[in-house]
Amino acid sequence: MQAALESGQWELLARLCKQALRKNSRQLQAHRYLGHALDCLGRKDEAVEVYRHAAAQWPGDAELLINYGNLLLSLARNTEALPILQRVCELRPDKSVCWLILSQCCYLIARHEQGFQAAERAAALATTTAEKSSALTQKAIHRRELGQVKQAVQDCLDAIALTPADYANHTNRLLFMLADPDANAAMLASAARDFAQAFEPALQPGWPDHADHRGDPWRRLRIGFLSPDFRVHSVMYFVEGLLAQLDRRQFEVFAFYLFPRDDQVTARVEHHADHFVRLAGLNGAQQAQAIRAHGIDILIDLAGHTGHNGLLALAHKPAPVQVSWLGFPATTGLQAVDYKFTDEVTDPPDAQDQYTEQLYRLPTLFACYRPMSRHPLWRYQPRYLVRPTPALANGFITFGSCNNLGKLTDDVLRLWGRILQAVPGSRLLIEGKNLGEPGFASDYRARCQALGVDTERLDLLGLNGDNQYLTYHHIDIALDPFPLTGGTTTFDVLWMGVPLVSMVGESFKSRMGVGLLTYLGRSEWLANTPEDYVRIACELASDVPALNQLRQGLRDEVENSPLMREDVFNHHFADGLRAMWLQWLAASAHPGDPAAQQAAMAAWLQDCPAEWSALPVPGVGVKPGQRISLGEAHQRLQDLVDKAKAGHSATAPGLDGATPITDRNWIAVTGLAEMVLNAVPHDPVALACLAEVENAHGHPDFAVTYLQYAMRAMERQAQAAQEAPQAQAS
């Protein structure tokens, strides 16, 4: 076995271990080696079972347990790994590496106090440069979540000084700098260039020329979306609509997934994309090789300097055109990334110097929001309807924030304290990670008090994913942090009917509120100074009936604005992709000759396919890699409803008087209707079919709700049809 292990013959090693275990099922070394061999062979689930069985027999073997815990971490099964790694630290309390792995485990499951303490223990025990650097890395990631932003950035810098070739410390430094009020756009750009300089120059000589991609400027392009976040993640509130409905006449869509764990959102992405490719567990060079093997013409990075990103793959230049979008509100720093999608407001006019990428400014907001990413059908539930502003019942105004606590700097909290003083009887609600833990909440309350916040009027809520959107029922006026403003949270706030006060900033990270409110047509909620910020908050709070009237109409404003018009956004995004492609072709054909490039593009534009002037027909992914038109999906739905009605027979009602849905035909109607709504929100046919399901099973209230949404959707379709000629002309 030892020889097979040392030579990396994993199939042989697995076979020898199984033979040994048939003779003696309690041979510890055979269990250790078998789990490792199966892991190396990519048979992860089998390896987990081997380790689980062995750990039950040898709960005191630290080597076995640490391998077991590491495997679970590689699969993002951190909750399962936690007790195993805690046991490892009990068995080997003097080993820095054990505490490091425990700290790493704590991050994904938001046990940041425990993770930070484990990292400090690791730092105290560290004997090598690698251990010292890793301890700093772990301290930094937990400190950022605990609101200690400056210390987190400094930990990253200290780690870079120790191990300059460690990729994670560079990218963490950039991510954490976003929330540092003293880090401006120029400093971010400089840090990003430092990152690029550490990794990109050695790769540039190997960049391919991509000559095999040249040819017909109007051919169907292969578009790759690269992300670790095709799962329950904020990125999906903006990507799903594009993946589902990017014009398939022009583009073939690939989703390259970098995270090792799937969930219900991943399953939806597999349906939306034409091809779904898993790249988790591969290094940057391997990821780049896989992307290039698929012949991708334009590769779009959705992560930037965030966790599990693919920037090292991008640095190998696997596609002719590479684009940064969405996940990180600043530059990647890489010369390999050609463009960044933005808009004409969120990035100020002089922003180009802040980026290594060429800015491509969309004529609409930089992203398009779709709520309820975790559970799309919940958006039709009554509990998520906009409710009257709570001040009507409370008799006082509640200001609030549900942003990441790392964004709530001392300056932010001081200003919010001034608002409480200016609005008598008002309260401040802050929801965030760890605020449900008494010790953390007590420390946070003391911090707020020291900054001038009246803690008698302060409500702290622990972050609970089940309460997403529902907390806004208790907030009258939302307060946006600065300089790192809210992103997804701001969209959530506005969709729930809550007005928002936001500060105008100088760069993208501090202008997301500017972009959203400008495109919404609510720039009167934008403040240029702290005094403006207080004034706007006070004005909104001064007239509760007017505040309530505003709240009741705000969702319709948002849904009819560029913030949520997927048809408009997808059209402009497609135009942007084609423009980038034509520019690459022209530059390839006429290098160093801008005039010739412009002439070539002008000539090509004369041959743009005429049929593309018509809006694309929406499609529905019914299986991974299988897409049908919306019309065909409607016909399938109607056939299923007819079949279900014909075979429907009464069954015993439940305690609530309703009949459980057990008939396979009705279940099929529900499943297909949900697929359609995942692809085309508010589709009236799918909503009507769900109404049929609910009515047949004794839920008339739900049936009426679905029909009401269907009627509203038909009205919106009629309005969109009137606007279509304008969109086509643009």
Question: Over the stretch 615-660, which tens digit does the pLDDT of each residue have?
Answer: 899 999 999 999 999 999 999 999 999 999 888 654 545 545 566 6
49-68: average pLDDT: 93
3-state secondary structure of 669: helix
Summarize pLDDT for 430-484 with one digit per residue, the tens. 999 889 989 889 999 999 999 999 999 999 999 988 889 999 999 999 999 999 9
Cβ–Cβ under 8 Å, residues 246 and 253: yes
Q: How confident is the model at residue 3 (pLDDT cuts 50, 70, 90)?
A: confident
Summarize pLDDT for 15-41 with one digit per residue, the tens. 999 999 999 988 899 988 999 999 999
Angstrom distances, CA of residue 1 to CA of 33, 300, 361: 8, 45, 60
Q: Is the pLDDT of residue 711 over 60?
A: yes
Q: Is the pLDDT of residue 726 over 60?
A: no
Contacts of 190 (CB under 8 A, 6+ apart): none
- CA distance linking residue 698 with residue 307, whole number of Å: 46
Q: How confident is the model at residue 299 (pLDDT cuts 50, 70, 90)?
A: very high
Omega cis (within 30) before 483: yes
Full DSSP string of 616-649 = PPPEEEEETTEEEEHHHHHHHHHHHHHHHHHT--
Q: Is the pLDDT of residue 661 over 80?
A: no
In the numeric block, which tokens belong to residue 362?
């969309």
What does the pLDDT read at residue 91? 96
Summarize pLDDT for 332-347 with one digit per residue, the tens. 999 999 999 999 999 9
Q: What percent of the chain has pLDDT over 90?
A: 85
What does the pLDDT read at residue 727? 47
Angstrom distances, CA of residue 616 to CA of 247, 297, 586, 678, 710: 6, 21, 27, 17, 22
3-state secondary structure of 31: helix
102-115: average pLDDT: 93
Across the beta sheet with 526-527, the strand order is: 458-462, 427-432, 398-401, 477-479, 500-503, 526-527
3-state secondary structure of 711: helix
Angle at CA of residue 605, ends 599 and 610, nearest 5°: 165
- CA distance linking residue 203 with residue 186, whole number of Å: 25
What does the pLDDT read at residue 319? 98
Asked whether the whole model's pTM tops 0.75, one would answer yes
What does the pLDDT read at residue 200? 97
74-93: average pLDDT: 96
537-565: average pLDDT: 97
- CA distance linking residue 325 with residue 327, whole number of Å: 6
Query: Which of the residue ranges 80-84, 188-192, 407-411, 563-567 would you say has the lowest mean pLDDT?
Result: 407-411
Angstrom distances, CA of residue 135 to CA of 87, 666, 678: 19, 55, 42
What does the pLDDT read at residue 272? 98
Summarize pLDDT for 203-252 with one digit per residue, the tens. 999 999 999 999 999 999 999 999 999 999 999 999 999 999 999 999 99
In the numeric block, which tokens belong to residue 701?
């209230």
Q: What percent of the chain has pLDDT over 70?
A: 97
Domains identified in the chain and CATH numbers: 2-199 (1.25.40.10), 201-368+565-616 (3.40.50.11380), 380-559 (3.40.50.2000), 625-729 (1.25.40)
What does the pLDDT read at residue 655? 47
With residue 158 as reference, give the H or E element that holds it.
helix 149-162
Of 688, 648, 573, nearest to 245 by C-alpha is 573
What does the pLDDT read at residue 61? 93
Question: What ranges in 349-508 are assigned the alpha helix state H?
Answer: 391-394, 410-422, 438-450, 488-495
Q: Is the pLDDT of residue 192 over 70?
A: yes
- CA distance linking residue 354 with residue 712, whole number of Å: 43
What does the pLDDT read at residue 89? 97
In the numeric block, which tokens belong to residue 464?
């609970």
